[in-house]
Amino acid sequence: MPSNKSVSEEPITQFVNCRILKDHQLQREDLWVREGKILNPEKLFFDEEGYADHQVDCESKILAPGFIDVQINGGYGVDFSQGCDVRGGVALVSKRLLEHGVTSFCPTLVTSPPHIYHKVLPEMEVHDGGAEGAGVLGVHLEGPFISREKRGAHPEHCLRSFQQGSLTDLLEVYGSLDNVSIVTLAPELPGSPTVIQELVKMGVTVSLGHSVADLSQAEQAVQQGATFITHLFNAMLPFHHRDPGIVGLLTSDQLPPNCTVFYGMIADGIHTNPAALRIAHRAHPSGLVLVTDAITAMGLPPGHHTLGQQHIQIDGLHAYVAGTNTLCGSIATMDMCVRHFRKASGCSVEAALEAASLHPAQLLGISQHKGTLDYGSDADFVLLDDSLHVKATYIGGEEVWRK
């Protein structure tokens, strides 16, 4: 007599009455989860003769992969670049991000003095998410190896150039690259080609940003292994028809075979005009990665706050370096960005959701277990209504937040 008990003793949860985002389409299908992973129901039925221990009725809502934010400087009064109570600050932001469907993220440090990096980086350990908050995928270091002309809100006195053109320059400033996922640098800086190659060898994603690079310098950087553009259009030379600069990477024919250049967009309605968002999306839809670039003031009322070493002023949805009209990050949440991007670009629901999940996972090289609902993937997902408002967030198949 075959047993009707599954091979693993762990309980199985079946999510029913949902439209799941799979193979770039919303499909009416159930989702099966065991031990934090998405199960193949055919294998479950035929190989194990298993069954669901629990059912969750999703009430016809959309079930999509959890959002991944690869550029977020802080929020809710926490500034990752301040260097005080680092673990407590990361924990607070991690917990609050669940409300916005974010299941994992890259805490981002803006240009800072070396002692800040030496203090903060060892405290920002990579870990999975759970009931306590979204997971940390590694730190995004934005600067200090960037252009003075395009430094934006980054403090000029902390900027650095490559003295030796090797990892030694980075280790002197950062102390260590152990918990680092992404480094944003300006590819026109002398010595950057070797630095890019060495970072890529270590498995660090190199992003081009805060830069006055021309197109050929940007293409050379991609040939050396760079794969990302930090907040496209912002803090770089504007598109020009005779030299489109970094923006030209979106349609370049000088890239290595099978190379996808990804690019971050702050779709908050402030950093990028909707027409520019549409141009980028239509030129290179598979590379678009939604980022919040959120700062300490996300989730706080208007007034004075900090960003790294700078004082900032919040006015409505705008964040400025205090006393200037220089934008310095956003106060948008990821679900807001998904909704704005969909409305501004006219793209499909699927495309808007994948820009916040699949594409960032592909960028970081983790799409085999994050950013999709494929069999064997981590069961990190978000339940949304038709207008893409978050109703519940799940990590490892467990509900971690509900509206």
Q: Residue 87: count other Cβ atoms within 10 Å of its Cβ.
A: 10
Q: Is 327 annotated as a binding residue?
A: yes
Q: Is 106 annotated as a binding residue?
A: no
Q: Is 234 annotated as a binding residue?
A: yes
Q: Is 241 annotated as a binding residue?
A: no
Q: Is 347 annotated as a binding residue?
A: no
CB contact at 8 A, 250 and 277: no
Q: Is 158 annotated as a binding residue?
A: no
Residue labelled with tokens 């006015």: 315
What pairing do the DSSP bridges indicate for beta strands 78-79 and 74-75?
Answer: antiparallel
CB contact at 8 A, 259 and 226: no
CB contact at 8 A, 70 and 364: yes
Q: Is 115 annotated as a binding residue?
A: no
Q: How far is CA 329 from CA 263, 265, 319, 325, in A?
A: 16, 12, 7, 12
Bond from prior residue into 256 cis (ω within 30 degrees of 0): no
Looking at the DSSP bridge assignments, the partners of residue 86 are: none
Residue 386 exposed, middle or buried by CB count within 10 Å (0-12, 13-18, 19+): exposed
Residue labelled with tokens 């259009």: 233
Active site residues: 293
Residues that constitute the known binding site for substrate: 153, 234-235, 242, 271, 327-329
Residues that constitute the known binding site: 142, 153, 210, 231, 234-235, 242, 271, 327-329
Residues that constitute the known binding site for Zn(2+): 142, 210, 231
